[in-house]
Structure 1
Amino acid sequence: MGLLYYLHTDQTLGIKVKRSDLIGLMMRRNELASEILKASFSQSFPAMLQSPSSCTGCRHLTSCTIYHKVHGGNTATSGLGDLFDNLVNHLSVAHHNFLKHWDRLIDLEARTSQVKKKEILLPLHYNSGSKSSAPSFYVLDMKNEHSVDSSGKSKRYIYNFVREKMQPEAAGHSEPQAESLDFNLKSGDCVVLSTQSGRIAVANGSIRDISRSHITVLPD
């Protein structure tokens, strides 16, 4: 069994899963991922479908046509004829400039947040002499891996991380360096849990308890 969500009726129905349906969904998903990747590099939108039958019932029709118009599109390139004109003819040059301006600011803000997110996953440099928000030398306590929090409506696991002694060669130094525990984290802060190799984010959570020897995290 699978779940199918209808956008127009806001309903979720149980359906029997067919291989042909899964293949179609995966193909569409891959097409979407490909277009998103292209847009992230080119900073441009893909061409419109130019299909009145598909576009008329799309919930993104208004925003799609507006962006298409603002970024140089017209009735011919939209493929929607009078429908396109009815949706965007009220826009003036001032509207175009306003949208482009704020769209650029939102894009810059998104890039900044991505940079900050990557910095969270960077390892702590022992000889930098600066504070770090990423105590990467804390690892999951395998002896006391997790406990259960039953205070809320649903039970959640609480994970315990303990301080790990890093070898000098692992940190890229020929001699032992003084380890610093001066990082800007406190109880209640939101954190990202990642793998030690590859810096792959695996979960989000919040700090429940923190000390020089351990950090207790409650995943979201």
Structure 2
Amino acid sequence: MAITKKTKTSGKKAEVTFKINEKHNPSEADVFVLGDFNNWQMADPDFQLEKKRGNYTKTVELEIGQKYEFRYVNRDFMWFNDESADAYVPSPFYGIDNCVVDLTTVKKTKVAPKKASVAKAKTAKKIVKDDLRKIEGIGPKIAGILGDNGIHTFNDLGKAKVAQLKKILREAGPRYTMHKPGTWPKQAKLAAAGKWEQLKTLQDKLDGGK
């Protein structure tokens, strides 16, 4: 006979394996392990021991930090105890002891917090943005469209090709094709360099960014 205990990865439960040799079974009938953990109900097939190679075994999950009373019984209603139990306590029936499996000394496993993947870390990184609405001809809607296409800063816009910007506007829909982005990169370069007076002078000469 043997009782083994293995802590689950969740840390709150333990896998308790009950194992007895067939010679300990008073008859050849199927064996069950009954106890506090299943209200001593023999009708529960989840607590029937599996017979294999001369042994009966059953693994059940029990909460750590408690003591459980139990006994074995076969289908011939013959009860017997486990010689490897942690302890024995008197049962409600005179002269009969119940076995005890003690999980109060089993330590809970500390579950390490999951590390965020590199991909998630990159996604979580805040994207630096400039207010592209400061560029003549760009309003809130177009600023959002440019952002959806990876253009978030004055530097991004300054490096963009006019043909690329026209394509972005064209793909955004007919209502945006009327806008002329020809001066947007030049304006963005001035803004990126902090040359606000020069930018204002340029914008004073423009009409809607044209």
Higher relative contact order (Cα pairs below 8 Å, separated by 6+ residues): 2
Greater radius of gyration (CA): 2
Q: TM-score, normalised by structure 2?
A: 0.22
Q: TM-score, normalised by structure 1?
A: 0.21
